[in-house]
Chain A
Amino acid sequence: MMFPKSIRWQLPFSYALLALLSTLALGVVLLLMLRSYYTEREITYLNNNADTISQAVQRLFHEDAPLAAIQAQITSYAFLSQVRIQLVDATGAMLADTGVQHGHNLVSISALPPEGASAEQSGISAGNAALYEHEAFRSNYTFRANLEVPISIPIFSQNGESGTADYYTPLIRLDFVRSDGNADDAVTDLEQAQTSRRPSIEEAAESPEFTLVLPASGTLYGFGLGEELSSPDARSGHVAQRLIVNDSGQPMGQLLMSEGPAYGGQIVAQVGRVWVFAGGLAVALAALVGWGVSRRITEPLIMLTSVTSRMATGVLSVRSTLQRNDELGMLASAFNDMARRVEETVVTLRRFVADAAHELHTPITALHTNLELATDDLPPSSARDYVERARAQLKRLENLTDSLLDLSRIEAGVAEDTDKPVALSGIVMEVSELYASRSEQLGINFVLEISEAPVFVRGSAWQLRSVLTNLLDNAIKFTPPGETISLRVRSEGEWVEVQVQDRGIGVPAEELPLIFSRFHRCRNAAAYPGSGLGLAIVKSVIDAHHGQIAVRNTAPGTSFTVMLPASA
């Protein structure tokens, strides 16, 4: 799987993953707890209802109520508690079974036309909620809320056959009128409702107009427990049994209560949905926060990286401007300390090279002048020859000193600006005039090939000049009179190619890899003057300029090809 390498992406991913895991864990625990809580509630509910209803039924038995009344009563209990109630007598015969309670169409609202007006006239069908918006309608009509219970009464005939009689019996009927109408009508059927022994019916009577409040004592009858969350279809699987006994404690029958409302499942499902939504939101938020945090971390990191890269290119004065109190701030200040030390070291080193140059060149200068004076004074003699030889060796010492100082300066000179555009064409022209003149004096042909358009590279002018002079020095040194050396400069796309070709003694193949090492002198070059540092200087300059150099034997002769990145 592709996982982004950048912290900028890793952090938000980790945050989101973390949020997802904790949401999952929390959600599972929550759902389990809810499930067990509601299971307990379902059982408690069933048991409480069973206690109450069994006592009521037992009282009816004691009062020798007719079976139909008991059945009707059980039906209304079943409806109110939304539990299936079965009554079995001592012999096991089913006396009443309310069936599964669905609670459909139990409440209907009908509008009664004002006195004297017929329903046809009004043209309004019952239950149309939009009617409430109609002012004339509201002020004139009376509304009736009908709570009707489907009753299914087992009928036992003489011959033992049984059947059921189905009808609806009104349980509660409430009529509502506007408060400026006849207020007494609102409680028209209050007495009837009270005879149904619904103790909470007074609350309905005290309700504001147009609002039907059903009995709300949830612990007893279930209304209000699940509220709108409870689906009428969901049933719990628990069963409660109560014995009905007579005065002497003899079992008269058994009350079975089952298929109670399964509020838990509904709530768990609902909570589950909310949880998925909240979880998704949490993951998105965590990813967002992660993104913010990663930006706070990566931005200074990117800045530090760019500062470090600039320093690596040789800009030693560069410092991080990051001001933070955290670890990144510490890193930035540590970087600045390091940069300061490096800068100091390099400055010291450069000063040392300058000092060394001065200290070495001063005595050489004095020696030089004195030997020159001596040469002029001496008549041609062996003493004059010795002085001439001493001068030649002095010249060699001077070149060696210069080369060593150049080399240490190029290699230590990280601070030297090798990044400004330099007109290579100009340097080539200047250097080739000198070398063309020298070649001419030595009887060597000098060929220069350079494009008309000026060629630019990035770097240090004196270092690039030293590349050309060292390569041309070698070319002239090893090429015999009458032969040709050539200098070619051309642009090759993003590169500038400088080629120096001579017709000299060549480089022995086995020594090709060694020629750029310091003080290395080829076997066949022993007779020629030199320090063995020229090509080492060339190599370090090319390296400092991010270029490449290749050497090739072209028998007779050698070809050096330098590639430097072109400057726009």
Chain B
Amino acid sequence: MISHAQKILLIEDDAAVAHSLRDGLERDGYAVIWKDTGNDGIRFAREHSPHLIVLDVRLPDGTGFEFCHKLRQQGVYQPILMLTVRRDEMDKVRGLEMGADDYVTKPYSLRELLSRVRALLRRAYGELSLSDSGVLYVSDLAIDRSRGQVRRGEKLIFLTPIEFRLLIYLARHQGQVLTRAQILDAVWGYNSNSENERIVNVHIRRLREKVEIDPSTPSLILTVPGMGYRLAV
């Protein structure tokens, strides 16, 4: 378990948010260090090199954007996840410009935040160690082809063989729009007709229910109207 030893620095001034977030992260197996000011957080980050930093935008001694910028200037290159308040374009863009790797908008769901944390950690540390073992990574999912397993963090997700093949096919073409005919051909080996295409829809729906964080509002496997499907980058 790679994630067990991983240290997450949480810089958040609101105690209620910090406590619940710390509980949620610790439950997922991370070691959480909480600092309630930006300057304390920077000091800790420089001295102890956490694996990931969760940084709130509003802090008593400055904005998260400023501290993000300072961290990068002072040679802290670990992933930073920003907690923003508004769904403002500006906040997102500013955060990413200042060197943040991703952002979550308050109020977020714990699942969503954990998913982002996992994906960031995997991108930063996971892929290197597992790159040869035939593991595909999509968002916070680890798809182990040799074992036929899909994991979200520590949690195993059970898929049928066809769902597994479908996910692998989508993952290999991440970001690309795949038509139902292409999917049928690659996953089932069928020729396409309207009857067969409905099979794709049904399996996509089932797959979503297993791999999406919130199946009612899919964010991983997206339907491209009139064309097909696309796995979000």
Contact = CB atoms under 8 A, between A and B. Distances in A.
Contacts of A116: none
Contact of A366 (B14, B89, B215, B230): B14
Interface string A410-447: 00000000000000000000001110111111100011
A398 B209 CA distance: 24
Contacts of A376: 27
Interface of A: 354, 357-358, 361-366, 368-370, 372-373, 376, 398, 402, 432-434, 436-442, 446-448, 461-462
A372 B226 CA distance: 36
Given A433-B230, A441-B209, A441-B215, 20 more contacts: A358-B85, A361-B106, A361-B107, A362-B14, A366-B16, A368-B108, A368-B109, A369-B20, A369-B24, A369-B110, A370-B23, A373-B27, A402-B87, A434-B222, A437-B223, A438-B216, A438-B218, A439-B223, A441-B216, A448-B226
Nearest to B17: A366
Interface string B7-37: 0000000101101110110010000000000
B161 interface: no
Given A354-B86, A362-B106, A462-B88, A433 B23 contact: no
Given A436-B225, A437-B221, A357 B24 contact: no
A353 B221 CA distance: 34
Interface of B: 14, 16-17, 19-21, 23-24, 27, 58, 85-89, 106-111, 201, 204-205, 208-209, 215-219, 221-226, 230
Nearest to B56: A362
Nearest to A428: B225
A483 B209 CA distance: 21
Contacts of A442: 216
A363 B110 contact: no
Nearest to B21: A369
A67 B111 CA distance: 147
A361 B85 contact: yes
Nearest to B114: A372
Which label, helix, strand, loop or mixed, suits the secondary structure of the B interface?
mixed
Contact of B111 (A372, A432, A448, A462): A372
B5 to A, nearest CB: 22
Contact of B201 (A365, A370, A432, A440): A440
A93 to B, nearest CB: 122
B77 to A, nearest CB: 28
A276 B223 CA distance: 87
11 contacts: A354-B86, A362-B17, A362-B85, A365-B17, A370-B20, A372-B111, A434-B217, A434-B218, A440-B204, A440-B218, A462-B89
A448 B223 CA distance: 11
A441 B218 contact: yes
Which 9 interchain pairs have the tightest Cβ spacing? A369-B20, A448-B225, A366-B16, A436-B223, A437-B218, A365-B107, A372-B110, A361-B106, A433-B222
A156 B71 CA distance: 142
A353 to B, nearest CB: 9
Where chain A touches its partner, the secondary structure class is: helix
A147 to B, nearest CB: 106
Nearest to A409: B86
Contacts of B89: 461-462
Contacts of B24: 369, 372-373
A87 B73 CA distance: 128
Contact of B86 (A357, A446, A461): A357
A404 to B, nearest CB: 13
Nearest to A487: B225
A441 B222 CA distance: 11
A438 B109 contact: no
A227 B107 CA distance: 106
A448 B225 CA distance: 6
Nearest to A361: B106
A335 to B, nearest CB: 29
Interface centre among B14, B201, B208 (most CB of A within 10 A): B14
Contacts of B87: 402, 462
Contacts of B205: 440-441
A344 B86 CA distance: 21
A165 to B, nearest CB: 120
A470 to B, nearest CB: 14
B106 A433 contact: no
A359 to B, nearest CB: 9
A340 B106 CA distance: 33
A373 B20 contact: yes
B84 to A, nearest CB: 10
A134 to B, nearest CB: 99
Contacts of A462: 87-89
